[in-house]
Homo-oligomer: A and B are copies of this chain.
Amino acid sequence: MYRSHNCGELRETHIDENVTLSGWVHKTRDKGFVIWVDIRDRYGITQLVFDEDRSSSELLDRARNLGREFVIQVKGSVIERASKNPNIPTGNIEVLVSELIVLNESKTPPFTIENETDGGEDLRMKYRYLDIRRNPVKNNLIFRSKVAMEVRKFLSDQEFIEVETPYLIKSTPEGARDFVVPSRMNEGQFYALPQSPQTFKQLLMVGGMDKYFQIVKCFRDEDLRADRQPEFTQIDCEMAFVEQEDILDVFEGLTKHLLKEIKGVEIDKFPRITFDEAMAKYGNDKPDIRFGMEFGELNDVAQHKDFNVFNSAELVVGIAIPGGNSFTRKEIDKLTDWVKRPQVGALGMVYCRCNEDGSFKSSVDKFYDQDDLAKWAEATGAKPGDLICVLSGDKNKVRAQLSALRMEMAERLGLRNPDEFAPLWVVDFPLLELDEETGHYHAMHHPFTSPKPGQLELLDTDPGAVRANAYDLVLNGNEIGGGSIRIHDKETQSIMFKHLGFTPEEAKAQFGFLMDAFQYGAPPHGGIAFGLDRLVSILGGQETIRDFIAFPKNNSGRDVMIDAPAPIDDEQLKELNLRIDIKA
């Protein structure tokens, strides 16, 4: 037996007990006549003591030679500490060691195993197994495990069945790029790794499985933006005999359960807004509503004067930055530069100071009088002491620009409190989205999403106006889940495929099995999928999903620890009937 207790367990109640501990040498302090060693494991740190009076000189010598991260086992008795450490749970005791066994030595680790380490990202990833010994990473992984378990408990209690769907499936050109897997037994053919279990969960509904979930890895071979992983985890859910309301109810319940169990936060009914409202109020379909700064549309109160910039704009829209009147002119100029950066892309910014005395001072005073500006203040909800920032131009672009400014200011003003949780549902998404490059419409959610009742006809005349039974769950400015009520009849699905540019043959080749299934009594159904990586990082109050993944890949899709991907044997290629064909 390697240990009687773990390193986070001993308290004053254990004093005088003989114990055995195992763990890593975290730190050694050598005062000559006495040596303290901190032994560490997953559960905590316990102080070991060796001294001239009570330890043999041989034992003292061996303690002296322990290096950082050596793995040791000690036997000894628990004693009261002379100088207690109130900062750690074991701080009232120490273990007077009678026996010391070195289980394994360690080279000096390439970075310190501390909460704040001296190791950079690259080094930490190469030695991820050492990084995981650090509390922040270790705790994130434990936290993730706990969240997943709570999800499973909640859904199982509601009679959801976790069904494993296959990983070796079929490639579909639609959507993102698939990872493919050559089949040795079926020459020249390939499996694909799932981007999601979408079609399988719908087939489970056709199969009567009724309430399905799965916590499952999904794969996308996309050029990786920061904080995207080629493999990621979804909480994938589907229900039959449901309307949108039923789904929102159940998964609002799940989210409340997580917030309560994991964070101790109780939230009443989640607000709901439509996609159109979200775009108008926040310029964003995943608004962060922990703070205000809602958009005020100013067309009516800013297009009646001779200011051509506004008059020629599709939309004039502003936000009130709380306390922003305290910004210096220089600071405001910098803000203007910020919105003009190519990443944001505004052409300029108009501002209006709201003075404490109720008067206004704007950058366009020669066009607008105090009455005009008072109306701006009213529309943006600005109070004395605030600064109104106004952008104008093409509606979609200017909303995105102002949304960027809103988020940036919230960040700067410390309004994005990671311990505060503000979920909301965004509903009534458009069914289709125009690809500006190709001029074609494609499915905003996916091709299985049903249009709102009675809107199917609009597909021919005004496809962009068709609204879908689609919804997102947004938490603190992040989409943590999204789903829809699906199409469940072959005819509607055929119409959808046609509008998405599939020939009947293409639709049959790729989704024939689903269309067939719809002919054998498919029930009304719908579902939702949560991004687990994102969900745990937000619940954990952090921004980077990589910190919540045990062995993440870097932005080139490489695992730098195991050095993958890597070349394979010619023999393997030959068995797969493949040749590598790299163009110069």
| Chain A positions near chain B (C-beta within 8 angstroms) | 1-3, 22, 24, 40-42, 69-71, 103-107, 109, 127-133, 138, 141-142, 144-145, 148-149, 152, 156, 161-171, 173, 177-193, 199-200, 203-204, 206-210, 217, 219, 221, 223-224, 230-231, 233, 241-243, 246, 488-489, 512-513, 517-524, 549-551, 553, 556-559, 561-569, 572, 575-583
Which of B130, B141, B168 is the one whose CB lies under 8 Å from A553?
A: B168
For A40, the chain B residues whose CB sits under 8 A away are 208
For A206, the chain B residues whose CB sits under 8 A away are 129-130
Flag if B171 contacts A557 (CB, 8 Å).
no
Flag if B145 contacts A161 (CB, 8 Å).
yes
Flag if A2 contacts B241 (CB, 8 Å).
yes
Flag if A241 contacts B167 (CB, 8 Å).
no
**Which single residue of chain B is at the shortest CB-CB distance from A571?**
B173
Given known A106-B520, A567-B190, contact A148–B162 (CB-CB < 8 A): yes
**Which single residue of chain B is at the shortest CB-CB distance from A583?**
B577
Number of copies: 2
For A219, the chain B residues whose CB sits under 8 A away are 167-168
Which of B152, B209, B523, B567 is the one whose CB lies under 8 Å from A22?
A: B523
For A162, the chain B residues whose CB sits under 8 A away are 145, 148-149
For A129, the chain B residues whose CB sits under 8 A away are 203-204, 206-207, 517, 520
Given known A2-B242, A231-B168, contact A128–B207 (CB-CB < 8 A): yes
Q: In terms of DSSP, what is the predominant structure of the interface of chain A?
A: loop
- The contact sample of 29 A-B pairs, CB cut-off 8 A, is A2-B524, A22-B523, A104-B521, A106-B521, A129-B204, A129-B517, A131-B207, A141-B209, A144-B163, A145-B156, A164-B233, A164-B549, A166-B551, A168-B219, A180-B181, A180-B568, A181-B565, A183-B557, A186-B557, A191-B564, A192-B564, A192-B568, A199-B562, A200-B550, A513-B562, A513-B563, A578-B579, A578-B581, A579-B579
Flag if B171 contacts A566 (CB, 8 Å).
yes
Flag if A246 contacts B1 (CB, 8 Å).
yes
New A-B contacts (17) at CB < 8 Å, excluding given A42-B210, A130-B206: A24-B208, A70-B521, A71-B521, A106-B520, A107-B520, A129-B206, A132-B207, A138-B209, A164-B549, A167-B219, A168-B230, A182-B182, A186-B558, A189-B567, A190-B565, A200-B550, A578-B581
